[in-house]
Amino acid sequence: MEKHMAVCPYCGAGCKLNLLVEDGMVVGAEGLDGITNEGELCLKGLSGFDFINDTKILTPRILHPMIRRTKGAELERVTWDEALDFTARKLTEIKEKHGADAIMLTGSSRGPGNEANFVMQKFTRACVGTNNIDNCARTCHGPSVIGLMDTVGSGAMSVSIPNLENADLIMLFGYNPSASHPIVARRIVKAKEKGAKIIVVDPRSIETARIADLYIQIKNGCNLAFLNAFANAIVTENLHDRAFVEAHTTGFDEWWEVVKNYTPESVADVCGCAPEDIRRAARMYATAPSSVIGWGMGVTQQRQGVKSVHQIAAIACVTGQIGRDNAGLAPVRGQNNVQGSCDMGMWPSLLPGYQKVSSPEVRAKFEKAWGLPEGKLSAREGFKLTDLPHGVKEGKIRAFYNFGEDPLQTEPDSADMRETLESLDLLISQDIFMTQTTALADVVLPGTSWGEHDGVFSASDRTFQRFTAAVPPKGECKHDWQIFSELSTRMGYPMRYQDTEEIWNEVRELCPNFYGATYEKMAGTGHAQWPIPTIECPGTPTLYRNGQFNTADKKARLMAHDFIEPTEMPDEGYPLVLCTVREVGHYSCRSMTGNCRALTLLADEPGYVSINPADAAARGIRDQQLVWVSSRRGKVISRAAVDERINEGAVYMTYQWWIGKCNDLTMHVTDPLSGTPEDKHSACQVEAIADQVWAERHAQTLYAQMKDWLAGEAAAQDKEPALA
Amino acid sequence: MNKFIAIEPDVCIGCGTCLAACSSGHREAGLQAQPRLALASTLDVTAAVTCHHCEGAPCMAVCPVGAITRADGAVLVNEQTCVGCKLCACVCPFGAIHPSGTSIAGVAGVKFDTPTFPRGTSALLSWEIGVYTRAVKCDMCAFDPAGPHCVTACLTGALSVQDAPCAAAARKEKLVAAAKANELAMRGSSTIRRP
Architecture of domain A142-332+552-557: 3-Layer(aba) Sandwich (3.40)
Asked if the model's pLDDT at residue B164 lies above 90, the reply is no
Based on the number of CB atoms within 10 Å of its own CB, is A565 exposed (0-12), middle (13-18) or buried (19 or more)?
A: middle
Q: Residue A200: its pLDDT value, please? A: 98
Across residues B182-190, what is the average pLDDT?
74
Nearest to A340 by CA among A120, A31, A18, A584: A120
A263, A383, A451, A635, A675 from A679: Cα distances, Å: 28, 20, 32, 16, 12
> CA-to-CA distance for A461 and A157, rounded, in angstroms?
5
Contact A210 B113 (CB under 8 A): no
Q: Is residue B170 part of a domain?
A: no
A57 touches chain B (CB under 8 A): yes
> CA-to-CA distance for A50 and A54, rounded, in angstroms?
7
Spatial contact of A519 and A501, defined as CB atoms under 8 Å apart: yes
CATH superfamily of domain region A2-53? ADC-like domains (2.20.25.90)
- Residues in B closer than 8 angstroms to A696, CB to CB, are 115, 117-119
Domains in chain B: how many in total?
1
> CA-to-CA distance for B33 and A598, rounded, in angstroms?
8
Q: What is the pLDDT of residues A468-519, one digit of tens each?
A: 999 999 999 999 999 999 999 999 999 999 999 999 999 999 999 999 999 9
Q: Is residue B55 part of a domain?
A: yes
CATH topology of domain A576-689: Barwin-like endoglucanases (2.40.40)
Nearest to A585 by CA among B33, B51, B99, B21: B21
> Mean pLDDT score of chain A, rounded to an integer?
96
Q: Residue B106: its pLDDT value, please? A: 62
Q: How many CA atoms lie within 13 A of A5 on its CB side?
A: 17
Residues linked to residue A355 through DSSP beta bridges, in sequence order: A351
From B30's Cα to the closest Cα of chain A, the distance in A is 14
Asked if the model's pLDDT at residue B112 lies above 80, the reply is no
Answer whether the bond into residue A606 is a cis peptide, omega within 30°. Answer: yes
Contact B13 A185 (CB under 8 A): yes
Asked if the model's pLDDT at residue B48 lies above 80, the reply is yes
User: What H or E segment, with its residue span, contains residue A66?
Assistant: strand A66-67
Contact B155 A41 (CB under 8 A): yes
Of B14, B19, B115, the CB nearest to A178: B14
Nearest to A603 by CA among B60, B23, B142, B41: B23
Spatial contact of B52 and B70, defined as CB atoms under 8 Å apart: no
Parent domain of B17: 4-164
> CA-to-CA distance for A706 and A712, rounded, in angstroms?
10
Q: What is the pLDDT of residues A184-232, one digit of tens each?
A: 999 999 999 999 999 999 999 999 999 999 999 999 999 999 999 999 9
Asked if the model's pLDDT at residue B120 lies above 80, the reply is no
- Residues in A closer than 8 angstroms to B46, CB to CB, are 207, 210
**Which SS3 state, helix, strand or coil, does residue A268 take?**
helix
Q: Residue A129: its pLDDT value, please? A: 97
Contact A696 B13 (CB under 8 A): no
- Residues in A closer than 8 angstroms to B116, CB to CB, are 693
Across residues B84-98, what is the average pLDDT?
94
DSSP 8-state code for residue A163: G
Global pTM? 0.94
Asked if the model's pLDDT at residue B110 lies above 90, the reply is no
Q: Residue B72: its pLDDT value, please? A: 85
Q: Is residue B27 part of a domain?
A: yes
- Residues in B closer than 8 angstroms to A25, CB to CB, are none
**Which SS3 state, helix, strand or coil, does residue A201 take?**
strand
Answer whether the bond into residue B93 is a cis peptide, omega within 30°. Answer: no
Can you give the three-state secondary structure of A86-116, one letter per residue? HHHHHHHHHHHHHCHHHEEEECCCCCCCHHH
Of A43, A696, A707, the CB nearest to B118: A696
A372 touches chain B (CB under 8 A): no
A467 touches chain B (CB under 8 A): no
| Type of residue found at A660 | G
Q: How do strand A214-216 and strand B74-77 relate by DSSP bridges?
A: unpaired
CATH of A66-129+351-453+470-510, one of 3.30.10.20, 1.10.10.10, 3.40.50.720, 3.40.50.740: 3.40.50.740
Q: Residue B104: its pLDDT value, please? A: 75
10-residue mean pLDDT series, chain A (724 residues): 96 97 96 97 97 95 97 96 98 98 97 97 98 93 95 95 97 97 97 98 97 98 98 98 98 98 98 98 98 97 97 98 97 94 96 97 98 96 94 97 95 93 97 97 98 97 97 98 98 98 98 98 96 96 97 97 97 98 95 96 95 98 97 97 97 96 94 93 98 95 94 95 75
Based on the number of CB atoms within 10 Å of its own CB, is B65 exposed (0-12), middle (13-18) or buried (19 or more)?
A: exposed
Q: Residue B192: its pLDDT value, please? A: 73
Q: Is residue B15 part of a domain?
A: yes
The confidence band for B54, taking pLDDT boundaries of 50, 70 and 90, is: very high
Give me the residue spans of the domains in chain A: 2-53, 66-129+351-453+470-510, 142-332+552-557, 576-689
Q: Residue A529: its pLDDT value, please? A: 97
Q: What's the gap between Cα A109 and its chain centre?
A: 7
From B146's Cα to the closest Cα of chain A, the distance in A is 14
Nearest to B80 by CA among B68, B92, B96, B71: B68
The confidence band for B166, taking pLDDT boundaries of 50, 70 and 90, is: confident
The confidence band for B189, taking pLDDT boundaries of 50, 70 and 90, is: confident
Nearest to A55 by CA among A718, A719, A711: A711
Q: What is the ipTM of this complex?
A: 0.93
Residues linked to residue A611 through DSSP beta bridges, in sequence order: A642, A651
The confidence band for B194, taking pLDDT boundaries of 50, 70 and 90, is: low
> CA-to-CA distance for B195 and B190, rounded, in angstroms?
14
Q: Is residue B112 part of a domain?
A: yes
